């Protein structure tokens, strides 16, 4: 089962000498991202809290994007997706992504509508 | 059935033993299982998002809820969850190292790294149990109104910091025993009573002019709204019961759905971690016994490794959507 490992991350910006080195490198990267998330979560800088993009705080967008970055490196390097055939990779990655985007879009849209009904409709619930 | 048995002896395209995706049968099925499990978790998290967007102005603020660290007193939002995240990522790393050692057929290294992975998983499950216990016990206590809303209390003399109902409730000479199944004529009981009755909390509130009510409503600065004294006295008239801690029906943190989602999402994830630890132990024993050494490859380690990383991957999302956002 001697697999060949692709040892580059960041599109070839960082190249490791062995698979073990790559694992530690990815760990350091993931730890830094987690630390940044926690620090932002504790201090909540005003700029990130006050700026809104698509009706959501910039801080939350930062969290979601950093999470996706972490997920990418866990799947690509820890789960060896980087070394699999692209057909397997696409089957595994794109199927859930399409379904999840669809579900999340529908549910959040509907939830916003219900929020409006609760807020402006003739229904008393917050008492 | 015979179609699922791959002997590897026939190499012709339609004769079986052909691997168009370059992955063995077992590994591919593990991937397909992970995809379906990922969709289950997405369903949970999307439902959480649905409820949250529905009650966007009254949802509890997570870093005011999860502020405890074992063995330390005080207010440390996020620190412990960040520690749990780090433990899980760390155990993921030892798992990759075990897989890597397996590729090189180094049995002893696989044993060491698998062992470390199991320890990491056990620490995580233990931390989660502690987190649950703290969440269920609660810390400040609150009142619930007729409409099912939660009223928490702050101390105006102490910079509007939260104050526990036990710190101002008046002790009054009244007794109310817990109704148990064996006491009544019909087989009905009730859950354990809160440590202070509604009357004691209300009497204490009237005696302490510094105590104010904090409602679930989030104001423009992103904080919960604090009522002034006259609004406070008017608001508590609507209170019907004392709530301490959390269960599936009501919780002192705010929206009832918040605790339900907490229990279901972290519980489902914790169950995955637990079963991951059990599977890891089984594979660990097989490695120790030399099963894979005789088989000639350590692909089983790789397969449980995939499951283990998946558990880590899910936690990354739970961490973001439950604790950070």
Q: ipTM score of the complex? A: 0.90
Find out whether B196 and B169 touch, Cβ atoms under 8 Å. Answer: yes
Task: Provide the pLDDT for residue A41.
Answer: 87
- Please classify residue B197 by burial: count the beta carbons closer than 10 Å to its beta carbon, then call 0-12 exposed, 13-18 middle and 19+ buried: middle
Higher pLDDT, A64 or B8: A64
Residues B103-147 pLDDT 10s:
999 999 999 999 999 999 999 999 999 999 999 999 899 999 998
3-state helix, strand, coil in chain B (%, to 5): 55, 10, 35
Task: Provide the pLDDT for residue B11.
Answer: 58
Residue B317 has pLDDT above 90, yes or no: yes
Q: Is A65 on the interface with B (CB under 8 A)?
A: no
Tell me which CATH code domain B23-138+258-324 carries.
Answer: 1.20.120.80
Lowest mean pLDDT among A116-125, B7-16, B78-87: B7-16
Q: Is B82 on the interface with A (CB under 8 A)?
A: yes
Return the SS3 of B242.
strand
Contacts of B137 (CB under 8 A, 6+ apart): B245
Q: Is A64 on the interface with B (CB under 8 A)?
A: yes
Q: Is B79 on the interface with A (CB under 8 A)?
A: yes
Task: Provide the pLDDT for residue B183.
Answer: 78
Locate A34 and state its tokens. Answer: 């987690």
Tell me the percentage of chain B whose pLDDT exceeds 70. 95
Bridge partners (DSSP) of residue B288 are: none
Q: Which of residues 7-66 of B touch A (CB under 8 A)?
A: 20-23, 28, 31, 34-35, 38-39, 42-43, 46-47, 49-58, 63
Task: Provide the pLDDT for residue B5.
Answer: 53
Instruction: Write the residue in A41, A79, A112 that is nearest to B63 by C-beta.
Output: A41
Find out whether B213 and B227 touch, Cβ atoms under 8 Å. Answer: yes
Cα separation of A74 and A68, whole Å? Answer: 10
Overall average pLDDT of the B80-92 stretch? 93
Instruction: Write the residue in B50, B302, B317 that is nearest to A110 by C-beta.
Output: B50
Instruction: Write the residue in A30, A70, A107 that is nearest to B46 by C-beta.
Output: A107
Contacts of B178 (CB under 8 A, 6+ apart): B189, B190, B192, B193
Which residues in A lie closer than 8 A to residue B222 (C-beta atoms)?
A: 44, 49
Find out whether B306 and B27 touch, Cβ atoms under 8 Å. Answer: yes
CATH 1.20.120.80 range(s) for chain B read 23-138+258-324
Provide the residue ranges of all domains of chain A, joining segments of one domain with +.
Answer: 1-83, 85-127
Residue B314 has pLDDT above 90, yes or no: yes
The verdict on a CB contact (< 8 Å) between A85 and B22 is yes
Overall average pLDDT of the B231-253 stretch? 92
Cα separation of B296 and B286, whole Å? Answer: 13
Task: Provide the pLDDT for residue A6.
Answer: 81
Instruction: Write the residue in B56, B298, B299 that is nearest to A115 by C-beta.
Output: B56
Overall average pLDDT of the B147-164 stretch? 92
Lowest mean pLDDT among A95-99, A102-106, B193-197, B200-204: B193-197
Q: Is A92 on the interface with B (CB under 8 A)?
A: yes
Query: CA of B167 to nearest chain A CA: how many angstroms apart?
Result: 26
Find out whether B287 and B111 touch, Cβ atoms under 8 Å. Answer: yes
| Closest by Cα among B53, B67, B65 to B253 | B65
Query: CA of B55 to nearest chain A CA: how many angstroms apart?
Result: 6
Task: Provide the pLDDT for residue B225.
Answer: 92
Higher pLDDT, B195 or B278: B278
Residues B18-36 pLDDT 10s:
777 888 888 999 999 999 9
Which residues in A lie closer than 8 A to residue B89 (C-beta atoms)?
A: 27, 30-31, 34
CA neighbours within 13 Å on the CB side: how many for B127?
21
Tell me the percentage of chain B whose pLDDT exceeds 90. 70
Continuous H helices in chain B: 25-54, 62-65, 79-103, 107-137, 198-207, 229-235, 256-261, 267-289, 291-295, 299-318
Task: Provide the pLDDT for residue A3.
Answer: 55
Could you give the C-alpha distances from A70 to A30, A63, A109, B27, B97, in angstroms and in order?
Answer: 6, 11, 27, 23, 19
Residue B96 has pLDDT above 80, yes or no: yes
Find out whether B50 and A107 touch, Cβ atoms under 8 Å. Answer: yes
Cα separation of B239 and B137, whole Å? Answer: 21
Query: CA of B184 to nearest chain A CA: how many angstroms apart?
Result: 34
Task: Provide the pLDDT for residue A2.
Answer: 42
| Average pLDDT for chain B | 90
Q: Is B316 on the interface with A (CB under 8 A)?
A: yes
The verdict on a CB contact (< 8 Å) between A78 and B317 is no
Which residues in B lie closer than 8 A to residue A100 (C-beta atoms)?
A: 39, 42, 46
Tell me the percentage of chain A whose pLDDT exceeds 90. 57
The verdict on a CB contact (< 8 Å) between A67 and B77 is no
Residue B9 has pLDDT above 70, yes or no: no
Residues B175-223 pLDDT 10s:
777 888 887 777 777 777 888 889 899 999 999 999 999 999 998 888 8
Locate A50 and state its tokens. Answer: 């006050």
Residues A37-67 pLDDT 10s:
989 988 888 888 888 888 788 999 999 999 9
Instruction: Write the residue in A23, A67, A91 that is nearest to B96 by C-beta.
Output: A23
Which residues in A lie closer than 8 A to residue B302 (C-beta atoms)?
A: 1, 80
Q: Is B298 on the interface with A (CB under 8 A)?
A: yes
The verdict on a CB contact (< 8 Å) between B49 and A87 is no
Q: Could you tell me how many CB contacts below 8 A there are between chain A and chain B?
A: 146
Nearest residue on chain B to A116, judged by CA atoms?
Answer: B54
Residues A12-38 pLDDT 10s:
778 888 888 999 999 999 999 999 998
Q: Is A63 on the interface with B (CB under 8 A)?
A: yes
């Amino acid at each position: 089962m001697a697999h060949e490992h692709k040892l580059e991350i960041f599109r070839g910006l960082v190249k490791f000498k062995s698979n073990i080195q790559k694992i530690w490198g990815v760990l350091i990267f993931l730890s830094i991202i987690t630390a940044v998330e926690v620090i932002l979560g504790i201090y909540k800088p005003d700029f990130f809290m006050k700026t809104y993009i698509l009706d959501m705080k910039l801080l939350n967008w930062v969290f979601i994007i950093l999470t996706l970055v972490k997920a990418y490196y866990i799947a690509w390097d820890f789960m060896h997706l980087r070394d699999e055939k692209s057909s397997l990779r696409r089957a595994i990655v794109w199927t859930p992504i399409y379904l999840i985007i669809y579900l999340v879009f529908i549910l959040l849209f509907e939830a916003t509508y219900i929020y409006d009904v609760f807020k402006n409709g003739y229904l008393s619930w917050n008492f | 059935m015979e179609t699922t048995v791959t002997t590897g002896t026939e190499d012709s395209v339609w004769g079986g033993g052909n691997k168009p995706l370059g992955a063995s049968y077992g590994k591919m099925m593990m991937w397909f299982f992970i995809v379906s499990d990922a969709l289950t978790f997405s369903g949970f998290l999307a439902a959480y998002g649905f409820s949250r967007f529905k009650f966007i102005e009254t949802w509890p603020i997570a870093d005011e809820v999860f502020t405890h660290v074992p063995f330390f007193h005080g207010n440390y939002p996020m620190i412990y969850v960040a520690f749990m995240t780090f433990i899980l990522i760390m155990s993921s790393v030892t798992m990759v190292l075990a897989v890597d050692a397996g590729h090189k057929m180094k049995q002893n290294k696989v044993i060491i790294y698998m062992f470390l992975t199991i320890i990491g998983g056990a620490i995580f499950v233990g931390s989660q149990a502690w987190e649950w216990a703290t969440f269920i016990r609660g810390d400040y206590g609150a009142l619930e109104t007729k409409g099912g809303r939660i009223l928490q209390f702050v101390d105006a003399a102490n910079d509007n910091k939260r104050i526990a109902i036990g710190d101002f409730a008046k002790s009054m000479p009244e007794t109310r025993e817990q109704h148990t199944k064996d006491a009544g004529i019909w087989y009905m009981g009730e859950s354990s009573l809160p440590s202070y009755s509604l009357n004691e909390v209300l009497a204490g509130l009237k005696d302490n002019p510094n105590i104010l009510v904090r409602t679930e409503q989030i104001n423009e600065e992103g904080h919960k709204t604090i009522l002034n004294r006259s609004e406070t006295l008017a608001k508590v008239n609507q209170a019907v019961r004392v709530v301490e801690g959390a269960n599936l029906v009501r919780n002192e943190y705010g929206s009832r759905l918040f605790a339900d989602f907490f229990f279901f999402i972290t519980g489902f994830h914790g169950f995955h971690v637990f079963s991951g630890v059990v599977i890891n132990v089984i594979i660990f024993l097989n490695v120790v016994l030399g099963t894979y050494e005789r088989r000639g490859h350590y692909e089983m380690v790789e397969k449980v490794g995939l499951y283990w990383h998946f558990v880590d991957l899910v936690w990354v999302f739970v961490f973001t959507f439950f604790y950070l956002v």
